Amino acid sequence: MKLLTYEVDGKERVGVLSRDEAWVCPISAAGMDYRTMKELIRECGPSELEMLNYISGKDPSEIKGAVPLADVRVLAPVPEPDQDVICLGINYLSHAKEAAKFEKEAFEKPEQAIYFAKRVNRAVDPEGGISAHRDLTSQLDYEAELAVIIKKDAFRISREQVRDYVFGYTVLNDVSAREVQTGHKQWYFGKSLDGFTPMGPWILTADSVEFPPKLAIQSRVNGELRQDSNTELLIHGIEEVICELSSGMTLKSGTIIATGTPSGVGMGFDPPRFLVPGDVVECTIEGIGTLKNTVVE
Ligand code: MG
């Protein structure tokens, strides 16, 4: 099942995508009045999810408020996260190698997970613009990533319990300004500029896919395949990461964890191939969907 945030008549709503992905049904059709996805994630129980799943399979003409997908503006599923996104750095071996080469460092497989934060004041719509920030960077880069969304507050949970705490998955482009990222000792600034986090197009609920998910992940720039991998190749997997972080900090409901990117980002090429205004970046994860974002001035 796919849940989305969308705008119709200037109002932000939460809905479920019909199985043929042609229609959006408002959650009000299932008797729910959550105003935001964050509220739905926190409050929605198994029976309500079942009801939404039922609605998604019904004939849309029988559902009050159903609108064709083509007639709505799809927003990021969580347009304004409550907290910074937690990111994994260097979490595919192939990317570890290209990143080491770019930074002229010796390649090392990270034994410990590399965590960093990404400020997201407002996530970019699945088809919105990536801000070029040309005054700050000439090394604008893309990173297709699987993002995990936490359902309920997680503290000191075991690896076996992790799956019960995952609400679902979405696609996230961890847009990066490389010289800003590496020029400072911490990556925070170079990862957190406004317009640097396309997310969506929706949330694939956890019950719709095996755990942990093994899904093809790809990116394209102007139609050319750049990244092509599988989420089963994470060095530090979802169970390990959530178990480790929760051992000392509460991962609150709605927390978004971006699990890292495979090789094929712009800095991995020789010479590097960074983004410029007008470039179209597509990030796709099998079974979830595609982000298609144009770089804008
Ligand atoms: Mg990343």
Mark residue 195 as left, alpha or beta (left: phi above 0; alpha: psi -120 to 50; beta: remaining): left
In the predicted model, what is the mean pLDDT of the chain? 96
Centre of ligand 1 from the C-alpha of residue 15, in Å: 28
Report whether pLDDT(202) > 90. Answer: yes
Class of residue 252 by CB neighbours under 10 A (exposed 0-12, middle 13-18, buried 19+): middle
Q: What is the rounded average pLDDT of the residues 194-202?
A: 98
Per-residue pLDDT at 47: 95
Question: In this structure, which amino acid lies at residue 61?
Answer: S
Question: In this structure, which amino acid lies at residue 131?
Answer: S
Centre of ligand 1 from the C-alpha of residue 136, in Å: 19
| pLDDT (tens digit per residue) in 26-83 | 999 999 999 999 999 999 999 999 999 999 999 999 999 999 999 999 999 999 999 9
Distance CA 214, CA 232 (A): 5
Per-residue pLDDT at 55: 96
How many residues in the chain?
A: 297
Reported confidence tier of residue 99, pLDDT bands at 50, 70, 90: confident
Centre of ligand 1 from the C-alpha of residue 118, in Å: 9
Centre of ligand 1 from the C-alpha of residue 236, in Å: 13
pTM comes to: 0.97
Give the chain as a 3 state SS string: CEEEEEEECCEEEEEEECCCCCEEEEHHHHCCCCCCHHHHHHHCCHHHHHHHHHHHHCCHHHCCCCEEHHHCEEECCCCCCCCCEEEEECCCHHHHHHHHHHCCCCCCCCCCCEEEEECCCCCECCCCEEECCCCCCCCEECCEEEEEEECCCECCCCHHHHHHHEEEEEEEECCEEHHHHHHCCCCHHHHCCCCCCEEEEEEEEHHHCCCCCCCEEEEEECCEEEEEEEHHHCCCCHHHHHHHHHCCCCECCCCEEECCCCCCCHHHCCCCCCCCCCCEEEEEECCCEEEEEEEEC
Centre of ligand 1 from the C-alpha of residue 9, in Å: 34
Class of residue 110 by CB neighbours under 10 A (exposed 0-12, middle 13-18, buried 19+): middle
Per-residue pLDDT at 82: 98
Report whether pLDDT(242) > 90. Answer: yes
Centre of ligand 1 from the C-alpha of residue 174, in Å: 5
Q: What is the rounded average pLDDT of the residues 177-202?
A: 97
Q: Are 182 and 150 in contact (CB under 8 A)?
A: no
Centre of ligand 1 from the C-alpha of residue 207, in Å: 25
Centre of ligand 1 from the C-alpha of residue 72, in Å: 29
Percent of the chain whose predicted confidence (pLDDT) is above 70: 100
Q: Kindly tell me the sign of the dihedral angle through the C-alpha atoms of 94, 99, 102, 103.
A: negative
Distances (CA, A) of 182 to 71, 99, 130, 138: 42, 11, 20, 13
Centre of ligand 1 from the C-alpha of residue 86, in Å: 10
